């Protein structure tokens, strides 16, 4: 597929080739592979007219070169600034070092009186500055254009003779010709695969706004022949990068770069060889380079070494025959070493994390506050957009439920990975005003621990009323624990009124008789009343049940459990699940009696059950049916019969049809 | 929760629907009906329910009949009639698993145990009750053995496990423990047999008994 594209590009190169020009794609910045972007930034328009950079925000570049002429010359090559705005990238560079001057010796002597003057000519070419713009259509395709401003001048000494009536004179005058113009080029890059990048750019496509000329010396003007450059960058292995630029004049540059991690950054070595049609020998020179990139900083040192020794003085015929096509790389260029520094500054937040979606697992039940500490109420789908592993801190805020933003445990996400992130919440203790269900907005936030980059999303969530229950018997314990103080007062009041009878019993029977006394007092005031709402499960808090003197099996079991638990008597819910989806809840109470003490409370071993406590001790538990609404003995016997038949003989406990939920 | 107690009782009654006719009685045989605390005398011709517990005293026995099958409970025995039935090995395994399911999960806090109040004076345990509970436990083990003798091995194991738990004094009888461990082995429930012998090895045993148990543990371990 891409071979076909390469063929098309080569064909286009031939079409664009209307005349010869010298090599344009050699830059002074090391000629690094474009695949090394953005860490190893390229300030060059030379082989990269498109010049799109994936820098985040601002980028500044500075380059200085030492020219190995005699004497050696040091100068500032370039100062640049670039800014990315989404898919747009604009770039400007000031290039004081892109300059080439020739001093032409005319071999013409002028002798006046006793002095001899040599007539000189001075030729100067300069690229003053350039601007570029590029647009990224997608991660794999970008186009761009560059415009560069050139100045050139030719100054020539000429002898003028002045004749008059009084005096004849000979004067040497320097004539000056100046010319300016803009060059415009376009380019594109296409990256079909992660390890392959193709680029195509024009050479001297537009010559705009030409002013001035050298007149009869126009052979000395800067050549602006049109052409094209095809670039291929390929990464065969993880750290090895190959690159080649082929120009329509048959000039080329090929090279390789090797990158590896060092000092927490990236160190790259590269070497390129190049061929320029207008220079000799065939391999015109070599360009070694070294570059180090650390976070936003990139430092690069590169050299251009020509194979042929460059003479200080050359025959002017050479200049006149071939002309100057490239200011920085031509048959008169000297070896040079350039140091370049790039600094990318990010003044805007780069999104590293994206919260793709949030799935709210269940509506919020305020009573289940402890559950939300252990189990997430929502799961977010998060993608890491960056090339780094990120530790993220998820958090959420639900209006009227949370006092503040609630942080969930941090979680690590690999580069470019997508993971599920759990969100936990903490229900504000004061939810007593939530009388009915309502819809609230839940805000979900993602924050990276080391950066402030984040994402957020808002989702509606159903907030149930304070008495709402999710139908899981295990969660009835939260209703039990809701108001221990009120339940404790009620139980103690009953026990205090029975102090005399309790004082005469066997100490080991204390729990049993306390249970019996509280039950008989509590139950005689109760009535069985179905749920007041049909649409959702509704459970009364213990004090509500006592106040309204009635409830269904959940309400009565919760209330009686709270009365016992509040004075230290251990209870458990028994959840009977029938195939008809009709379920029932009653209670088990820990009498604290040992198995050998069973006869203290009953002669029938079907009325109690042995359970091991957490330290391995065996204790007698008795079942109580709250909805019997009779006396303790009957409530005990009914529950015992049911437990025996369904949980034990019917193997309900083993088969999951009967489940015991301890209140803890 | 829109259930009624009536429905629950219906479900219960189906489970205990099996009835036994008393064919013959010698000596004193008592019955504890359902969940009642008291015992009553059994007479020939009485109809007993599945949730009844039969207790035979010294020199007594009872012959029961159900669907032309007869079952004799010998002297000094106690047996819940619902156990006179064939159950599958799978159900036996489930029943054994329930032993642990019933326990309080060890990863949970053991409730609120802050109540240090003491009400009333310390009255010693009734000696008569102590004697009764020990006696009833032993009777139940005898009843379980008779289940095994009649081919109800699985039921016998369940009854023995329940009895060992509810009547702790029965747990220390070496011969009884080995008897029911052998029943597990006969059913090829090697893991359960090994557990049982490991439990037996923790009893206060004579040297001979210790050697026997260790040999059994090794033998079963090799079989596994």
pLDDT digit string, tens, across residues A219-230 = 888 888 888 999
Q: Is A193 helix (H, G, I), strand (E, B) or coil?
A: strand
Q: Which of B90, B91, B102 to mutate to test the interface with A (most CBs of A within 10 A)?
A: B102
Q: How confident is the model at residue B123 (pLDDT cuts 50, 70, 90)?
A: very low
CB A109 within 8 A of CB A116: yes
Nearest beta carbon to residue B125 from set A571, A597, A604 = A597
Q: How confident is the model at residue A33 (pLDDT cuts 50, 70, 90)?
A: confident
Which residue's entry shows tokens 């003989």?
A649
Q: Could you report the per-residue pLDDT of A113-169, keeping only the tens digit for each?
A: 666 777 788 999 999 999 999 898 888 888 999 999 999 999 988 888 777 777 777
Distance, CA of A548 to CA of A566 (rounded, Å): 20
The residue-averaged pLDDT of B189-195 equals: 94
In this structure, the strands spanning A99-112 and A88-94 are unpaired
Closest to A330 (Cα-Cα) out of A555, A24, A585: A24
DSSP chain B: ----HHHHHHHHHHHT--EEEEEEEES-EEEE-TT-S--EE--TT-EEETT-EEEE-TT-EEEEEETTEEEEE-SSEEEEGGGSS---HHHHHHHHHHHHHTSPPTTS-----------S--PPPPHHHHHHHHHHHHHHHHHHHHHHHTT-HHHHHHHHHHHHHHSGGGGG-HHHHHHHHHHHHHTT-HHHHHHHHHHHTTS---HHHHHHHHHHHHHHHHH-
Closest to A82 (Cα-Cα) out of A94, A67, A74: A94
Nearest beta carbon to residue A504 from set B105, B115, B120 = B120
Distance, CA of A248 to CA of A250 (rounded, Å): 5
CB A227 within 8 A of CB A202: yes
- The dihedrals phi and psi of A137, each to the nearest 5 degrees, come to -75, -40
One domain for residues A358 and A341:
no
CB B203 within 8 A of CB B173: no
Q: Distance, in angstroms, between A655 CA and closest chain B CA?
A: 7
Last residue of a domain, one of A463, A494, A517: A463
Q: Distance, in angstroms, between B91 CA and closest chain A CA?
A: 8
Q: Please give the pLDDT value at position A4.
A: 58
Is the predicted pLDDT of residue A453 greater than 80, yes or no?
no
The residue-averaged pLDDT of A400-418 equals: 89
Q: Please give the pLDDT value at position B128.
A: 40
Q: Could you report the per-residue pLDDT of A353-387, keeping only the tens digit for each?
A: 889 999 999 899 989 888 888 899 999 999 998 88
One domain for residues A257 and A132:
yes
Mean pLDDT score of chain A, rounded to an integer? 85
Q: Is A372 helix (H, G, I), strand (E, B) or coil?
A: helix
**8-state DSSP, A538:** B
CB A542 within 8 A of CB A482: yes
Residue A368 in tokens: 């289940």
Q: Please give the pLDDT value at position A27.
A: 81
Is the predicted pLDDT of residue A96 greater than 50, yes or no?
yes
User: Which of A27-36, A556-565, B29-38, B112-121 has the least mean pLDDT?
Assistant: B112-121
Q: How confident is the model at residue B125 (pLDDT cuts 50, 70, 90)?
A: very low
Distance, CA of A218 to CA of A573 (rounded, Å): 104
Q: Please give the pLDDT value at position A174.
A: 86
Characterise A216 by phi-psi region: left (phi > 0), alpha (psi -120 to 50), beta (else).
alpha
Q: Which of A654, A656, A658, A663 to mutate to test the interface with B (most CBs of B within 10 A)?
A: A654
Nearest beta carbon to residue B15 from set A611, A615, A645 = A645
By percentage, how much of chain B surpasses pLDDT 90? 63
CATH number at residue A628: 3.10.620
Is the predicted pLDDT of residue B19 greater than 80, yes or no?
yes
**Displacement of CA B183 from its chain's centroid (Å):** 14
Closest to B55 (Cα-Cα) out of B39, B78, B32, B34: B78
Closest to A81 (Cα-Cα) out of A344, A452, A450: A344
User: Which of A196-200, A329-333, B129-133 has the least mean pLDDT?
Assistant: B129-133
Residue A614 in tokens: 């957490």
Is the predicted pLDDT of residue A483 greater than 80, yes or no?
yes
| Chains A, B: CB pairs < 8 Å | 179
Inter-chain CB proximity A590 and B167 less than 8 Å: no
Whether residue A540 lies inside any domain: the answer is yes
Q: How confident is the model at residue A184 (pLDDT cuts 50, 70, 90)?
A: very high
Inter-chain CB proximity A595 and B165 less than 8 Å: yes
Alpha helices, H only, A200-275: none
**8-state DSSP, A236:** S
Inter-chain CB proximity B117 and A510 less than 8 Å: yes
Q: Is A627 helix (H, G, I), strand (E, B) or coil?
A: helix
Better-predicted residue by pLDDT, B35 or A351: B35
Q: Is A655 helix (H, G, I), strand (E, B) or coil?
A: helix
What SS3 string covers A247-262? ECCCCEEEEEEEEEEE
One domain for residues A106 and A162:
yes
Distance, CA of A103 to CA of A116 (rounded, Å): 19
Distance, CA of B94 to CA of A650 (rounded, Å): 10
CB A432 within 8 A of CB A466: yes
One domain for residues A153 and A211:
yes
Whether residue A141 lies inside any domain: the answer is yes
Q: Please give the pLDDT value at position A541.
A: 93
**8-state DSSP, A626:** G
Q: Which residue of A has its CA nearest to B38?
A: A603
CB A241 within 8 A of CB A30: no
Domain of residue A525, residue span = 473-662
Is the predicted pLDDT of residue A14 greater than 60, yes or no?
no
What SS3 string covers A554-611? HHHHHHHHHHHHCCCCCEEEEEEECCCCCEEEEEEEECCCCHHHHHHCCCCHHHCEEE
Most confident option among A49-53, A619-623, A652-656, B122-126: A619-623
One domain for residues A232 and A368:
no
Q: Distance, in angstroms, between A592 CA and closest chain B CA?
A: 10
The residue-averaged pLDDT of A73-94 equals: 87
Inter-chain CB proximity B130 and A590 less than 8 Å: no
**8-state DSSP, A65:** E
Is the predicted pLDDT of residue B12 greater than 60, yes or no?
no
CB A554 within 8 A of CB B1: yes
Inter-chain CB proximity A604 and B36 less than 8 Å: yes
By percentage, how much of chain A surpasses pLDDT 90? 40
One domain for residues A97 and A162:
yes
Is the predicted pLDDT of residue B3 greater than 60, yes or no?
no
Better-predicted residue by pLDDT, B104 or B53: B53
Last residue of a domain, one of A410, A433, A463: A463
What's the pTM?
0.60
**8-state DSSP, A204:** S
Is the predicted pLDDT of residue B130 greater than 50, yes or no?
no
The residue-averaged pLDDT of A287-303 equals: 88
| Overall domain count for chain A | 3
Furthest C-alpha separation in chain B: 60
Alpha helices, H only, A338-453: 369-374
Q: Please give the pLDDT value at position B121.
A: 35
The residue-averaged pLDDT of A394-414 equals: 89
Whether residue A120 lies inside any domain: the answer is yes
CB atoms within 10 A of CB A212: 14
Q: Could you report the per-residue pLDDT of A535-564, keeping only the tens digit for each?
A: 558 899 999 999 999 988 889 999 999 999
Residue B86 in tokens: 């064939």
Q: Please give the pLDDT value at position A11.
A: 45
Alpha-carbon separation of residue A127 from A95, A124, A326 (angstroms): 6, 10, 10
CB A82 within 8 A of CB A56: no
Better-predicted residue by pLDDT, A170 or A346: A170
One domain for residues A334 and A358:
no
Q: How confident is the model at residue A449 (pLDDT cuts 50, 70, 90)?
A: low
Is the predicted pLDDT of residue A477 greater than 60, yes or no?
yes
Whether residue A468 lies inside any domain: the answer is no
Angle at A559 between CA A558 and CA A561, to 5 degrees: 65
Furthest C-alpha separation in chain A: 158
Q: Distance, in angstroms, between B208 CA and closest chain A CA?
A: 29
Distance, CA of A480 to CA of A661 (rounded, Å): 13
Q: How confident is the model at residue A598 (pLDDT cuts 50, 70, 90)?
A: very high
Q: Please give the pLDDT value at position A518.
A: 96
One domain for residues A161 and A248:
yes
Which residue's entry shows tokens 């020509």?
A306
The residue-averaged pLDDT of A84-96 equals: 89
User: Which of A156-165, A573-582, B124-133, B162-171 has the least mean pLDDT?
Assistant: B124-133
Q: Please give the pLDDT value at position A401.
A: 85
Residue B4 in tokens: 């009624």
List of chain A residues whose C-beta atoms are within 8 Å of the C-beta of residue B5: 625, 627-628, 638
Q: Please give the pLDDT value at position B8.
A: 38
Q: Which residue of B has its CA nearest to A642?
A: B12
Residue A569 in tokens: 């008597």
Distance, CA of A482 to CA of A488 (rounded, Å): 12
Is the predicted pLDDT of residue B215 greater than 50, yes or no?
yes
One domain for residues A455 and A488:
no
Q: Please give the pLDDT value at position A77.
A: 87
Nearest beta carbon to residue B122 from set A507, A602, A651 = A507
Q: Domain segments of chain B: what residues?
A: 18-84
Q: Please give the pLDDT value at position A371.
A: 87
Distance, CA of A559 to CA of A542 (rounded, Å): 4
CATH number at residue A205: 2.40.160
CATH number at residue A382: 2.60.40.10
Whether residue A500 lies inside any domain: the answer is yes
CB A419 within 8 A of CB A382: yes
- The dihedrals phi and psi of A575, each to the nearest 5 degrees, come to -105, 110
**8-state DSSP, A367:** G
Is the predicted pLDDT of residue A579 greater than 70, yes or no?
no
Q: Which of B87, B119, B122 to mutate to test the interface with A (most CBs of A within 10 A)?
A: B119
Q: Is A127 helix (H, G, I), strand (E, B) or coil?
A: strand
Q: Please give the pLDDT value at position B6.
A: 37
Inter-chain CB proximity B11 and A644 less than 8 Å: no
Cis-peptide, bond into residue B130, ω within 30° of zero: no
CB atoms within 10 A of CB A407: 15
Q: Distance, in angstroms, between A607 CA and closest chain B CA?
A: 6
Rg (CA), chain A: 45
Residue A425 in tokens: 């919440």
One domain for residues A477 and A459:
no
Residue A12 in tokens: 């286009």
The residue-averaged pLDDT of A521-539 equals: 78
Distance, CA of A72 to CA of A98 (rounded, Å): 16
One domain for residues A457 and A500:
no
Inter-chain CB proximity B101 and A627 less than 8 Å: no
Q: Please give the pLDDT value at position A298.
A: 85
The residue-averaged pLDDT of A576-600 equals: 87
One domain for residues A385 and A507:
no
CB atoms within 10 A of CB A71: 5
Better-predicted residue by pLDDT, A451 or A403: A403
User: Which of A459-473, A525-539, A631-645, B62-76 has the least mean pLDDT?
Assistant: A525-539
CB B175 within 8 A of CB B146: no
Q: Could you report the per-residue pLDDT of A243-289, keeping only the tens digit for each?
A: 999 988 788 999 999 988 888 788 999 999 999 888 888 999 999 99
Is the predicted pLDDT of residue A68 greater than 70, yes or no?
yes
**Terminal CA-to-CA distance of chain A, rounded, Å?**
67
Element (H, E) at A313: none
**8-state DSSP, A47:** S
Q: Distance, in angstroms, between B166 CA and closest chain A CA?
A: 5
Last residue of a domain, one of A442, A463, A484: A463
Task: Examine the predicted complex and report whether its ipTM is higher than 0.85.
Answer: no
- The dihedrals phi and psi of A322, each to the nearest 5 degrees, come to -95, -30
Looking at the DSSP bridge assignments, the partners of residue A143 are A135, A188
Q: Distance, in angstroms, between B28 CA and closest chain A CA?
A: 19
């Amino acid at each position: 597929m891409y071979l076909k594209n390469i063929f098309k590009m080569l064909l286009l190169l031939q079409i664009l080739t209307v005349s010869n020009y010298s090599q344009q794609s050699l830059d002074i910045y090391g000629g690094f592979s474009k695949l090394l972007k953005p860490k190893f930034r390229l300030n060059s328009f030379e082989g990269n007219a498109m010049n799109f950079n994936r820098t985040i925000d601002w980028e500044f570049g500075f380059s200085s070169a030492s020219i190995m002429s005699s004497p050696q010359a040091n100068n500032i090559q370039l100062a640049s600034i670039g800014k990315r705005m989404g898919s747009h990238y604009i770039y400007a560079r000031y290039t004081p070092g892109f300059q080439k001057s020739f001093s032409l010796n005319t071999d013409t002597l002028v002798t006046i009186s006793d002095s001899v003057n040599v007539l000189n000519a001075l030729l100067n070419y300069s690229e003053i500055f350039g601007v570029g713009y590029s647009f990224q259509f997608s991660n794999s395709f970008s186009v761009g254009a560059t415009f560069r401003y050139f100045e050139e001048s030719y100054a020539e000494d000429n002898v003028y003779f002045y004749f008059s009536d009084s005096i004849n004179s000979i004067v040497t005058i320097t004539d000056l010709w100046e010319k300016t113009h803009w060059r415009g080029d376009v380019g594109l890059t296409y990256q079909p695969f992660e390890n392959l990048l193709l680029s195509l750019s024009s050479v001297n496509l537009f010559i705009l706004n030409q002013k001035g000329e050298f007149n009869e010396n126009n052979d000395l003007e800067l050549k602006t022949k049109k052409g094209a450059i095809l670039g291929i960058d390929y990464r065969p292995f993880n750290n090895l990068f190959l690159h080649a630029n082929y120009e329509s004049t048959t000039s080329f540059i090929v090279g390789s770069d090797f990158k590896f991690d060092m000092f927490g950054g990236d160190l790259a070595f590269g070497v390129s060889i190049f061929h320029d049609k207008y220079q000799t020998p065939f391999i015109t020179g070599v360009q070694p380079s070294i570059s180090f990139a650390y976070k936003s900083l990139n430092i690069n040192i590169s050299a251009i070494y020509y194979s042929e020794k460059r003479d200080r003085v050359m025959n002017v015929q050479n200049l006149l025959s071939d002309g100057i096509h490239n200011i920085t790389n031509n048959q008169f260029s000297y070896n040079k070493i350039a140091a370049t520094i790039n600094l990318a500054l990010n003044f805007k937040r780069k999104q590293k994390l994206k919260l793709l979606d949030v799935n709210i697992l269940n509506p919020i039940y305020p009573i289940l506050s402890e559950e939300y500490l252990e189990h997430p109420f929502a799961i977010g789908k998060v993608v890491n957009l960056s090339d780094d592993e990120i530790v993220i801190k998820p958090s959420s805020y639900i209006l009227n439920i949370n006092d503040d933003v609630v942080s969930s445990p941090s979680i690590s996400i690999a580069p470019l990975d997508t993971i599920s992130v759990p969100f936990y919440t903490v229900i504000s203790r004061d939810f007593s005003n939530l009388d009915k269900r309502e819809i609230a907005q839940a805000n979900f936030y993602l924050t990276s621990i080391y950066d402030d980059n984040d994402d957020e999303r808002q989702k509606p969530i159903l907030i149930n009323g304070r008495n709402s229950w999710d139908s899981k018997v295990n969660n009835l314990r939260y209703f039990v624990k809701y108001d221990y103080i009120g339940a404790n007062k009620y139980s103690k009041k009953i026990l205090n009124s029975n102090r005399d009878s309790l004082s005469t019993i066997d100490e080991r029977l204390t729990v049993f008789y306390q249970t019996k006394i509280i039950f008989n007092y509590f139950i005689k005031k109760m009535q069985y009343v179905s749920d007041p709402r049909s649409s959702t499960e509704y459970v009364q808090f213990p004090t509500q049940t006592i106040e309204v003197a009635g409830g269904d099996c959940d309400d009565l079991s919760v209330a009686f459990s709270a009365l016992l638990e509040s004075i230290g008597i251990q209870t458990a819910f028994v959840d009977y699940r029938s195939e008809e989806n009709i379920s029932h809840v009653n209670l088990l109470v820990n009498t604290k009696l040992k198995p050998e003490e069973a006869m203290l409370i009953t002669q029938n071993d079907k009325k109690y059950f042995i359970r091991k406590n957490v330290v391995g001790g065996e204790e007698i538990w008795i079942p109580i049916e709250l909805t019997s609404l009779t006396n303790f003995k009957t409530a005990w016997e009914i529950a015992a019969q049911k437990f025996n038949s369904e949980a034990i003989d019917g193997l309900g406990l083993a088969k999951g049809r009967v489940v015991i939920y301890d209140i803890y | 929760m829109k259930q009624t107690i009536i429905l629950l009782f219906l479900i219960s009654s189906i489970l205990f629907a099996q009835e036994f006719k008393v064919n013959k009685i010698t000596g004193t045989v008592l019955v504890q009906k359902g969940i009642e605390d008291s015992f009553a005398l059994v007479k020939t011709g009485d109809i007993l329910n599945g949730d009844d517990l039969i207790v035979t005293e010294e020199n007594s026995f009872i012959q029961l009949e159900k669907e032309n099958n007869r079952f004799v409970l010998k002297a000094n025995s106690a047996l819940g009639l619902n156990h006179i039935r064939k159950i599958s090995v799978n159900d036996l395994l489930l029943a054994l698993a329930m032993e642990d399911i019933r326990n309080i999960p060890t990863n949970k806090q053991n409730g609120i145990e802050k109540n240090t109040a003491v009400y009333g004076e310390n009255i010693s345990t009734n000696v008569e009750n102590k004697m009764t509970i020990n006696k009833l436990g032993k009777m139940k083990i005898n009843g379980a053995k008779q289940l095994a003798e009649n081919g109800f091995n699985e039921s016998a194991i369940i009854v023995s496990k329940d009895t060992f738990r509810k009547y702790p004094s029965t747990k220390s009888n070496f011969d009884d423990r080995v008897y029911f461990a052998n029943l597990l082995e006969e059913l090829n429930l090697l893991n359960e047999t090994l557990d049982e012998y490991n439990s037996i090895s923790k009893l206060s045993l004579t040297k001979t008994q210790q050697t026997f148990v260790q040999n059994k543990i090794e033998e079963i371990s090799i079989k596994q």
